[in-house]
């Protein structure tokens, strides 16, 4: 059970949040300019690292805001939290 | 002619609330039906928006997350960085909606009457924090959650908007009307432990949340 | 007197409070302060159980949570609880307990016959034996094995007790209130930090209550009591007794089980929750969970009367109980040696210490001599003798020479320590094997946690106290607090903790992972590792050599597993079942691992430990369920009209958490009759339905129409104010997500409806796109689902009924056409009326603020009396919508279905772009063999197919043949009986189904395939003439 620091509400329990999958997968500017393979890449293919992953969460039972979390998929350590549109912080070594 | 009387979702509950309040030591529960509630969306950083809402409400919309501004009867509760819930006594919904829409005319803002969307359950007394703690994962210690604190969270399996309305403490739970009987039943059940004849460690727990 | 083995004057029990209890139908007496185990031992009862596999006699082996043997069934009737450890059950007046796993009694047990067959009941026996012949499994092996397996019995009536939970946040959580935990808790508590101290015992103290101890000139127990009193007096401290922390989860989330009334006996605290499940979130944690003692494996090391040395010391010191008249100890370390001498000091019944080491600590040796205890250095016990109780031991030198037989009636064992690393490991923290101490110790923490005391191999009292203080100092530093002024641990003074300020966890550097204590771990054990006497002597010795007492795993089982190729400790564990019993191997895992390592020719670190998982000790389902049972097991959501529905006989259907009227039977009607009547009314006169549960979202802003254009598949910019449109929503992959009717309330304002189950999901979806992809769009979404109550008036007479309620509203087709809405007064209430239809009939959906929902409903019912208005439920709604081929999201769709599959291409724009459009150009979505929505009519009109039934092309293919692959060409999504058609009918998704119109497919079912004819999904009024009403 994670404790997640909503950028607006502060630290709250994981049950207040919903998971939104990998972050920084922008909707393609012009989907119709993509090949089927490129479009399928956007739709279906996701990173699955053993380590740090940037992902989206929404404070669904709180302020209903989406934001980004950088989380270690093994230890669950949260190394960064930032708002949508903000650049991800530099990766820690 | 048909009835135009309103029915609150907990219209049938006053007797049970009274019984629960009477049997517990320093714990009360009641419904505050028909509270005027208006959802306001807008850009808090925009001076025109702030001025327009201040002019109608007489108090500002709280900028700090998870707080409320105003008085216990007329307040604005923070819901999100661009969203607030304006609350007022019964019957003021139409006038406040009209005044806000008028005042915000031409701005990118939204004013929506949601008075019938949720009802308000108020619990109060020294055991109120422990009763909530049985189902709510927030830190409810007085030093972490006192006026003017609010929070949107969960109580057991229901979503709640929680307002610490008074230092006594008194809490107002804004719950969607379809969940109101569940939340009321849950609160009464959780409070049975605080009946005068029981207790066990109730005073100890209350003292450690105060 | 409470038992012949009570030591006069010893123990922290209340002799003035004798307590009568029954064990295996025998009446016995103990004292307040006893556990069931200590009370039994005080009465000389050692034999309390039969082992799981061989049904060997077993007695108390420990005095705590690690007990493998003394597993009992407590109480009877609805209060009965199986598989409790007698070592943890506090005695109360009238307690009733019984042994488990024996028939007919623990003294005379028929299951002992297994022992005759023990030569073949080796590791993997069940897997190897009961495989052949295969047909025997179901009818013979399984029933016999099931009967023979299992320990206690479950109660046969609902649990009469109540259970509770509580969430709690704190700065520092200290687990374990032994000397290290207490000294750590005092340090942090005096700083005013929100502190929680938890211990599983009735009173804090831990080993201070279990061994003779002195701190600053006062007895250890008295020091513990003073420390507890100080902590209890601080408002910033919560001391929880009788509470076991069983799980350590992410981000310092810990769960604990408090046993609040068990010590009083069942039913003695009405209205009080029996157990409370605590959910902690701590800024920092200090683990002082102590250490378990470890046995040594030798022949017949399972006999009753054989016990760990610390247990013997605890029974003597804490409970004033001697284990017998003549005791022997078998040790390989100074800690166990000292425990044996402490036991002697209290009980005076120890005659001999057998120490495998050449020499013990000289000071201990002097103590032994002074206490009149003979010590044999460099010797081992090869075998214990006895049947239902140990009566002697065979001793050998470490070289293997026979050194004679010694009579005894109890035997103390100490093979070293296993620090209770379970919670630390769950955290998860890594462990390291310390070869010098022959145990696993906490290594690197991944959370904000410190370790202290015996968990950290600090076994001496002074070093445990100092270690607790040091852990507290590191904790305070991490929280940005200076450690307390140095005060001697003994000199407790009242503190001014309450005046210190509160530190919100988020504001301090609380998340840094704990670091191991600086400096090397001192050696306070002086152990010479000895796992198995057989392996030390290098020869097979008589008797059975047990590793896991509860699961009856022996040394030879482990060696057999190694010979059979089990290299991984995880596999060997599961194959032999070592450590998989209810005690989770607290006294056996490390020994089993060491012997496996030896058998594999590897070192212990090379083999590694198995994974520690929660719960550390068992947790009952009742405690996990808490108050979430009965009517509170899940929210029951009801509409404002619910009371009317209930009073008028509605049968309810669960739709998610909603209770929706399913149908309204009249007296004597079954469901079929009621639905037939309701459907007829809806098609011929009028029906009324509560449609309140549909999701409703207010969408506002200059870009609202553009936003809808992007999220819906069809176009919205040109929709006139006052009009409605049916919209489809897809995911980017082009699959259907939701549908609903959306109305334009103003140029910049829409009211969207969603399906009942998707209300929250759709709002989250809209917000996701607005916040993350299109933050520039000027749109605000607000949920108004429960602001409005919706009453659907449906059928040819609906206009007349509404007119009666809204005399001022022009309801003519010209003034109020299909797919528009009007605002006005209905039944004297401000209302918004939508002319939309989910049945194909003329219909109006009237919305009023939900506090008027019941009044509106009653008014409609009253006004409809003259027009044959009939209330109907979801079943009739389904029949009516399916007759028209209207889909339901989640019924006709399952995230693999496109609008085109459903024949809804008309609602998909070819002009503008929208979410999912690109996917309709994918090869996969253009396949001609995709499943398409069709209608099915059965050849036998009385046949109503089961929803989900598979469809095949010919009767021959209705029997599944794995060789030819799946014969299914599709499945039935909706199926009902239609009174209007006088026939069953169904909607189905069939591969290339539209090309199969007119052909016969077969519905697969157990009773044989049923032929059905493929047709159009619209069964009723395909021209749509009825929606404007029939005059």
Answer yes or no: are the C-beta atoms of C373 and C357 closer than 8 Å. Answer: no
SS3 C711: helix
How do the pLDDT tens digits run along chain A, 93 residues long?
999 999 999 999 999 999 999 999 989 999 999 999 999 999 999 999 999 999 999 999 999 999 999 999 988 999 999 999 899 888 754
DSSP code of C771?
Answer: I
DSSP C403: E
Mean pLDDT of C454-479: 96
Residue C532's pLDDT is 97
Give the tens place of pLDDT for each residue, C541-571: 999 999 999 999 999 999 999 999 999 999 9
Question: Is C50 within 8 Å of C58 (Cβ atoms)?
Answer: yes
C200 exposure class (CB count in 10 Å sphere: 0-12, 13-18, 19+): buried
C-alpha–C-alpha distance, residues C332 and C356, integer Å:
5
What ranges make up the beta strands (E) of chain B? 28-32, 36-41, 68-70, 75-80, 83-88, 110-113, 118-124, 150-155, 158-166, 170-176
The Cβ of residue C496 has, within 10 Å, a number of other Cβ atoms equal to 9
Q: What is the pLDDT, as a whole number, of residue C31?
A: 96
- Chain B, window 62-81: residues with a beta carbon less than 8 angstroms from a chain C beta carbon: none
B169, with CB counted inside 10 A (0-12, 13-18, 19+), is buried
Assess if residue A63 is contained within a domain: yes
As a CATH number, domain C1-157 is 3.10.20.440
Residue A66 in domain? yes
- pLDDT, tens digit, 9 for 90 and up, residues C1002-1016: 999 989 999 999 999
Q: What region does C639 belong to: left with phi over 0, alpha with psi -120 to 50, or beta?
A: beta
Question: For C122-126, C222-226, C812-816, which range has the lowest pLDDT when averaged over its residues?
Answer: C122-126
| Chain A CB contacts of C773 below 8 Å | 26-27
Of the candidates C20, C33, C16, C19, the residue with the CA atom closest to the CA atom of residue C321: C33
Q: Quote the pLDDT of residue C504.
A: 33
> Do C821 and C832 contact (CB within 8 A), yes or no?
yes
Total length of chain B: 210
Is residue C152 very low, low, confident or very high in pLDDT (cuts 50, 70, 90)?
confident
CB-based contacts of C361: which residues, under 8 Å, 6+ apart?
A: C334, C337, C526
| Token representation of residue C473 | 């100092």
Give how far the C-alpha of residue A12 lies from the chain's centroid of Cα atoms, to the nearest Å. 17
CATH of C163-291+420-507, one of 3.20.20.220, 3.50.50.60, 3.40.190.10, 3.40.1400.10: 3.50.50.60
How, if at all, do strands C275-287 and C449-451 pair? Answer: parallel
Domain count of the fold of chain A: 1
CB atoms within 10 A of CB C143: 11
pLDDT above 50 (res C501): no
User: Phi, psi (5° rounding) for residue C679?
Assistant: -65, -40
- Distance (Å) from the alpha carbon of C183 to chain B's nearest alpha carbon: 21
**If you average pLDDT over residues B8-28, what whole number do you get?**
93
Strands B36-41 and C214-215: unpaired
C1003: left (phi over 0), alpha (psi -120 to 50) or beta: beta
Supply the pLDDT for residue C176.
98
Task: Tell me, yes or no, if B103 comes closer than 8 A to chain A by beta carbon.
Answer: no
Q: Which helix (H) or strand (E) holds C803?
A: helix C798-805
CB contact under 8 A, B117 and C628: no
b/e for C145-155, b at 16 or more Cβ within 10 A? eeeeeebbeeb
**Who has greater pLDDT, C491 or C114?**
C114
Q: Is B23 helix (H, G, I), strand (E, B) or coil?
A: helix
Residue closest to C532 by CA, chosen among C608, C583, C582, C594:
C594
- Print burial letters for C1006-1027: b (CB count within 10 Å at least 16), e (below 16): eeebbebbbbebbbbbeeeebb
| Type and span of the H or E element at C654 | strand C651-655
pLDDT band for position C125 (cuts 50, 70, 90): low
Token pair listed for C676 = 């037939």
pLDDT at C510 over 90: no
Could you list the residue range(s) of the whole structural domain that residue A5 is in? 1-26+42-93
Residue identified by tokens 């809402």 is: B53
Q: Is B79 part of the contact surface with chain A (CB cutoff 8 Å)?
A: yes
Locus of tokens 């009083």? C264
In whole angstroms, what is the distance from residue C391 CA to residue C305 CA?
A: 9
| C631 interaction partners in chain B (CB closer than 8 Å) | 185
| For residue C937, pLDDT beyond 90 | yes
User: Regarding beta strands C736-746 and C749-754, do their DSSP bridges make them parallel or antiparallel, or are they unpaired?
Assistant: antiparallel
Q: How many residues does chain A have?
A: 93
Q: Give the right CATH number for C295-415 from 3.40.50.150, 3.40.50.2300, 3.30.70.20, 3.50.50.60.
A: 3.50.50.60
The mean per-residue pLDDT over the stretch C307-320 comes to 98
Average pLDDT in the C637-655 region?
A: 97
3-class secondary-structure state, position C253:
strand
Distance linking the first and last C-alpha atoms of chain A = 26
Cβ proximity of C940 and C928 under 8 Å: no
Residue-level pLDDT at C143: 62
Q: What does the pLDDT average to over C255-259? A: 97
> Three-state SS for C208?
helix
Distance of CA C194 to the CA centre of its chain: 28
Top CATH class, C539-600? mainly alpha
Q: What percent of chain C has pLDDT over 70?
A: 91
* pLDDT tens figures, C39-84: 999 999 999 998 888 889 999 999 999 999 999 999 998 899 999 9
Mean confidence (pLDDT) of chain C: 92
Spatial distance between the Cα atoms of B191 and B29, rounded to a whole number of angstroms? 10
Distance of alpha carbon C671 from alpha carbon C680, whole angstroms: 14
Residues facing C978 on adjacent strands:
C983
Q: Do C251 and A3 touch (CB under 8 A)?
A: yes
pLDDT at residue C55, rounded to an integer: 86
What are the extents of the domains in chain C? 1-157, 163-291+420-507, 295-415, 539-600, 662-692+787-881, 695-783, 928-1026
Phi, psi (degrees; rounded to nearest 5) at C561? -60, -45
Quote the pLDDT of residue C509.
39
Give the pair of three-digit tokens for residue C781: 């979404």
Model confidence pLDDT, tens digit, residues C776-797: 999 999 999 999 999 999 999 9
Tell me the pLDDT tens digit for each residue of C847-880: 999 999 999 999 999 999 999 999 999 999 999 9
Fold for the domain defined by C662-692+787-881 = Gyrase A; domain 2 (3.30.1360)
Min Cα separation A48/chain C (Å): 20
- The pLDDT tens digits for C168-201 are 999 999 999 999 999 999 999 999 999 999 999 9
Length of chain C in terms of residues written: 1031
Answer with the residue of higher pLDDT: C126 or C738. C738
Q: What is the chain A residue with the closest CA to B150?
A: A9
* Whole-angstrom distance, CA of residue B60 vs CA of residue B76: 8
Residue B74 DSSP SS3? coil
ω into C716 cis (within 30 of 0): no
Closest CA to C635 of B72, B178, B174, B126: B178
Q: Is the per-residue pLDDT at C208 higher than 50?
A: yes
End-to-end CA distance of chain B: 53
By CB atoms closer than 10 A (0-12, 13-18, 19+), residue C550 is buried
Write down all domains in chain B, each with its CATH number in brackets: 14-33+117-207 (3.30.1360.120), 36-113 (3.30.70.1520)
Neighbours of A30 (CB within 10 A): 8
Are the beta carbons of C635 and B179 separated by less than 8 Å?
yes
Q: Does A92 map to a domain?
A: yes
3-state secondary structure of A68: strand
CATH topology of domain C928-1026: Elongation Factor Tu (Ef-tu); domain 3 (2.40.30)
Structure tokens at C435: 């070869």
For residue C238, the chain B residues in CB contact (below 8 A) are 204-205, 208
Residues of C in contact with A76 (CB under 8 A): 250-251
Give residue-wise pLDDT tens across range C468-499.
999 999 999 999 987 554 333 333 333 333 33
From C779, C759, C760, select the one nearest C769 (Cα to Cα). C779
Residues of A in contact with C922 (CB under 8 A): 36, 39-40
Residue A32 lies in a domain: no
Q: The domain at C695-783 falls in which architecture? A: 2-Layer Sandwich (3.30)
Cα angle C532, C536, C537 (rounded to 5 degrees) comes to: 120
Residue B4 to residue C852, Cβ atoms within 8 A? yes
- Give me the half-sphere count of Cα atoms (radius 13 Å) on the Cβ side of residue A25: 20
- Beta carbons of C537 and C396 less than 8 angstroms apart: yes
Question: Which CATH number goes with the domain that contains A77?
Answer: 3.30.2270.10
- To the nearest whole Å, the CA of A66 is away from the closest chain C CA by 7
β-pairing verdict for A52-58 and A18-22 = antiparallel
| Kind of pairing between the strands at C390-397 and C402-407 | antiparallel
Q: Residue C814: which residues within 8 A CB-CB, separation 6 or more?
A: none
- Of C110-124, C134-148, C449-463, C509-523, the range with the highest mean pLDDT is C449-463
Q: Given pLDDT bands bounded at 50, 70 and 90, which one contains residue C964? A: confident
From chain B, the residues in CB contact with C643 under 8 A are: 12
Does B130 reach chain C within 8 Å, measured CB to CB? Answer: yes
The per-residue pLDDT for C1029 is 82
Q: Is the pLDDT of residue C821 over 70?
A: yes
C662-692+787-881 against C695-783: fold identical: no
- Cα gap A70→B154, rounded to integer Å: 25
Range list of β-strands (E), C494-584:
546-548, 553-554
Instruction: Work out the end-to-end distance of chain C between its first and last CA atoms, rounded to an integer number of angstroms.
Output: 97
Q: Which of C250, C732, C923 sits opposite A2 (nearest CB)?
A: C250
């Amino acid at each position: 059970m994670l404790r997640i620091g909503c950028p607006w509400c502060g630290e709250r329990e994981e049950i207040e949040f919903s998971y939104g999958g990998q972050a920084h997968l922008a909707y393609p500017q012009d989907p119709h300019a993509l090949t089927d393979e490129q479009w399928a890449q956007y739709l279906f293919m996701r990173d699955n690292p053993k380590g740090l992953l940037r992902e989206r969460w929404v404070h669904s039972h709180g302020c209903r805001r989406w934001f980004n979390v950088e989380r270690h998929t093994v230890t669950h350590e949260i190394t960064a939290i930032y708002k949508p549109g903000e650049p991800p912080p530099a990766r820690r070594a | 002619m048909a009835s135009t009387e309103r029915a609150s979702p907990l219209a049938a509950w006053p007797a049970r609330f009274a019984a629960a309040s009477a049997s517990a030591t320093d714990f009360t529960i009641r419904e505050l039906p028909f509270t005027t509630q208006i959802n306001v969306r807008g850009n808090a950083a925009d001076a025109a928006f702030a001025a327009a809402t201040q002019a109608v409400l007489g108090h500002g919309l709280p900028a700090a997350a998870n707080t409320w501004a105003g008085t216990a009867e007329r307040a604005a509760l923070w819901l999100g960085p661009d969203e607030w819930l304006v609350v007022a006594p019964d019957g003021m919904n139409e006038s406040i909606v009209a005044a806000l829409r008028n005042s915000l005319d031409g701005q990118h803002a939204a004013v929506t009457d949601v008075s019938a969307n949720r009802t308000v359950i108020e619990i109060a007394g020294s055991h109120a924090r422990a009763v909530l703690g049985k189902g709510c994962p927030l830190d409810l210690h007085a030093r972490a959650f006192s006026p003017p604190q609010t929070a949107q969270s969960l109580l057991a399996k229901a979503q709640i908007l929680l307002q610490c309305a008074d230092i006594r403490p008194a809490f107002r739970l804004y719950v969607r009307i379809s969940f109101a009987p569940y939340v009321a039943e849950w609160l009464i059940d959780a409070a049975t432990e605080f009946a005068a004849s029981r207790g066990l460690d109730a005073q100890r727990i209350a003292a450690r949340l105060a | 007197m409470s038992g012949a083995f009570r030591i006069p004057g010893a123990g922290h029990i209340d002799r003035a409070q004798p307590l009568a209890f029954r064990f295996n139908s025998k009446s016995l007496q103990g004292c307040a302060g006893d556990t069931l185990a200590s009370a039994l031992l005080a009465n000389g009862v050692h034999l309390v159980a039969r082992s799981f596999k061989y049904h060997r006699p077993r007695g108390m082996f420990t005095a705590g949570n690690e007990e493998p043997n003394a597993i009992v069934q407590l109480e009877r009737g609805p209060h009965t609880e199986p598989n409790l450890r007698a070592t943890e059950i506090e005695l109360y007046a009238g307690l009733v307990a019984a042994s488990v796993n024996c028939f007919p009694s623990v003294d005379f047990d028929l299951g002992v016959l297994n022992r005759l067959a023990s030569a073949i009941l080796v590791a993997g026996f069940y897997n190897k034996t009961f495989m052949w012949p295969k047909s025997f499994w179901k009818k013979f092996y399984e029933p016999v094995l099931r009967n023979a397996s299992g320990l206690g019995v479950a109660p046969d009536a609902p649990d009469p007790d109540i259970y509770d939970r509580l969430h709690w946040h704190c700065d520092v959580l200290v687990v374990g209130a032994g000397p290290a935990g207490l000294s750590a808790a005092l340090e942090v508590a005096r700083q005013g930090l929100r502190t929680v101290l938890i211990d599983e015992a009735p009173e804090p103290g831990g080993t201070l209550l279990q061994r003779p101890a002195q701190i600053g000139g006062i007895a250890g127990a008295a020091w513990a009591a003073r420390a507890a009193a100080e902590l209890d007096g601080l408002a910033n401290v919560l001391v929880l007794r009788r509470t076991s922390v069983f799980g350590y989860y992410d981000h310092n989330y810990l769960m604990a089980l408090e046993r609040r009334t068990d010590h009083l006996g069942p039913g003695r605290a009405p209205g009080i929750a029996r157990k409370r499940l605590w959910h902690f979130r701590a800024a920092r944690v200090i683990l002082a969970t102590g250490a378990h003692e470890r046995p040594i494996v030798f022949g017949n090391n399972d006999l009753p009367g054989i016990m760990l040395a610390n247990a013997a010391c605890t029974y003597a010191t804490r409970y004033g109980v001697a284990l017998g008249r003549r005791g022997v100890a078998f040790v390989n370390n100074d800690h166990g040696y000292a425990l044996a001498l402490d036991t002697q000091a209290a009980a005076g019944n120890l005659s001999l210490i057998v120490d495998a080491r050449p020499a013990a600590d000289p000071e201990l040796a002097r103590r032994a001599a002074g206490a009149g205890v003979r010590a044999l250095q460099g010797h081992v016990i090869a075998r214990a003798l006895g049947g239902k109780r140990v009566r002697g031991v065979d001793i050998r030198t470490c070289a293997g020479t026979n050194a004679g037989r010694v009579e005894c009636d109890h035997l103390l064992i100490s093979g070293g320590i296993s620090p209770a690393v379970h919670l630390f490991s769950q955290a998860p923290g890594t462990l390291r094997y310390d070869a010098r101490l022959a145990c696993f110790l906490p290594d690197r923490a991944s959370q904000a946690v410190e370790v202290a005391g015996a968990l950290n191999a600090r076994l001496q009292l002074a070093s445990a106290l100092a270690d607790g203080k040091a852990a507290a100092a590191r904790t305070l530093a991490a929280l940005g607090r200076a450690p307390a002024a140095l005060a001697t641990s003994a000199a407790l003074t009242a503190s001014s903790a309450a005046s210190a300020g509160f530190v919100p966890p988020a504001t301090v550097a609380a998340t840094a992972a704990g670091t191991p204590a600086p400096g090397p771990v001192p050696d306070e054990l002086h152990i010479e590792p000895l796992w198995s006497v057989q392996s030390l002597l290098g020869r097979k010795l008589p008797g059975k050599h047990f590793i896991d007492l509860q699961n009856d795993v022996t040394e030879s089982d482990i060696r057999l597993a190694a010979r059979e190729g089990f290299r991984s400790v995880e596999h060997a564990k599961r194959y032999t079942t070592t450590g998989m019993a209810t005690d989770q191997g607290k006294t056996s895992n490390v020994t089993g691992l060491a012997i496996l390592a030896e058998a594999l020719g590897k070192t212990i670190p090379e083999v590694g430990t198995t994974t520690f998982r929660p719960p550390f000790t068992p947790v009952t389902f009742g405690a996990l369920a808490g108050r979430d049972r009965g009517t509170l097991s899940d929210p029951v959501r009801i509409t404002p009209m619910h009371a009317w529905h209930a009073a008028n006989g509605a049968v309810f259907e669960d739709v998610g958490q909603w209770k929706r009227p399913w149908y309204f039977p009249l007296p004597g009607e079954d469901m079929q009759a009621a639905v037939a009547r309701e459907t007829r009314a809806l098609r011929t006169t009028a029906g009324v339905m509560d449609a309140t549960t549909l999701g409703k979202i207010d969408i506002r802003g200059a870009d609202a129409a553009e936003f809808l254009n992007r999220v819906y598949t069809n176009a919205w910019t040109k929709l006139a104010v006052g009009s409605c449109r049916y919209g489809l929503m897809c995911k980017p992959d082009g699959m259907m997500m939701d549908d609903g009717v959306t109305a334009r309330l103003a140029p910049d304002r829409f009211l969207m409806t969603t399906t009942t189950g998707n209300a929250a999901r759709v709002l989250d979806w809209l917000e996701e796109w607005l916040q993350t992809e299109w933050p520039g769009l000027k749109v605000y979404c607000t949920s108004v689902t429960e602001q409005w109550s919706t009453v659907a008036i449906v059928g040819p007479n609906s206009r007349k009924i509404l007119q009666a309620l809204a005399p001022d509203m022009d309801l003519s087709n010209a003034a109020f056409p299909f797919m528009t809405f009007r605002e006005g007064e209905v039944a004297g209430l401000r209302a918004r009326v939508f002319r939309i239809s989910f049945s194909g009939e003329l219909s109006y959906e009237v919305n009023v603020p939900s506090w008027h929902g019941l009044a509106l409903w009653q008014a409609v019912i009253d006004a409809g009396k003259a027009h044959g208005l009939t209330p109907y439920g979801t079943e009739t709604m389904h029949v009516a919508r399916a007759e028209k081929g209207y889909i339901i999201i989640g019924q006709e769709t399952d995230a693999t279905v496109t609008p085109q599959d459903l024949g809804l291409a008309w609602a998909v724009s070819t002009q503008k772009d929208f979410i999912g459009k690109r996917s309709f150009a994918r090869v996969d979505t253009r396949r001609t063999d995709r499943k398409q929505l069709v209608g099915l009519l059965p050849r036998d009109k009385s046949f109503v197919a089961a929803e989900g039934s598979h469809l095949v092309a010919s009767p021959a293919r209705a029997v599944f043949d794995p060789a030819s692959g799946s014969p299914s060409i599709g499945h039935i999504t909706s199926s009902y009986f239609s009174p209007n058609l006088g026939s069953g009918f169904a909607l189905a998704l069939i591969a290339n189904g539209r090309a199969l119109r007119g052909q016969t497919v077969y519905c697969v079912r157990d009773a044989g395939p049923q032929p059905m004819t493929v047709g159009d999904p619209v069964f009723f009024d395909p021209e749509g003439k009825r929606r404007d009403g029939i005059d």
